[in-house]
Amino acid sequence: AQSVTQPDIHITVSEGASLELRCNYSYGATPYLFWYVQSPGQGLQLLLKYFSGDTLVQGIKGFEAEFKRSQSSFNLRKPSVHWSDAAEYFCAVGAPDTGRRALTFGSGTRLQVQP
């Protein structure tokens, strides 16, 4: 069974600073990889996804993530954080060989942005 680890529960950055949120996964092959963002009182919005091919993927809101097979990682980055980026971020893994399409989520990283 797959698993996802987000080692940082809470991160605080200053507005305009760069951001990297860490995600490590455990899966026997190359999984499908996702980053979702959850703003307070809102549902989850897909930021970006990786299925195959180019290991650097671009998403919405200026986010990008890089798949590193050797490190089993899929870290999320943004070069300059905006106050509106304050939210909780979830990394998720999907298994290509299962029909039920259950995503396995990490426990989330809460991002706080200081002015």
CA distance 13 to 114: 6
DSSP 102: P
Which lies closer to another protein via its Cβ, residue 103 or residue 113? 103
Beta bridge partners, 113, equal: 13
Among 54, 70, 97, 99, binds another protein (CB under 8 A): 99
Computed on alpha carbons and rounded to an integer, the radius of gyration of the chain in Å comes to 14
Tokens representing 72 are 């089993």
Phi, psi angle pair for 44, to nearest 5°: -95, 135
Rounded least distance, CB 40 to another protein, Å: 11
Among 25, 63, 65, 106, binds another protein (CB under 8 A): 106
Instruction: State the binding string over 26-65 for another protein (x if CB under 8 A, else -).
Output: ------x-x-x----xxxxxx--x-xx-------------
Rounded least distance, CB 23 to another protein, Å: 11
- Binding of another protein by 112 (CB under 8 A): no
Is 83 exposed, middle or buried (CB count within 10 Å of its CB: 0-12, 13-18, 19+)? Answer: exposed
Give the binding site for another protein (CB under 8 A): 4, 32, 34, 36, 41-46, 49, 51-52, 90, 92, 94, 96, 99-108
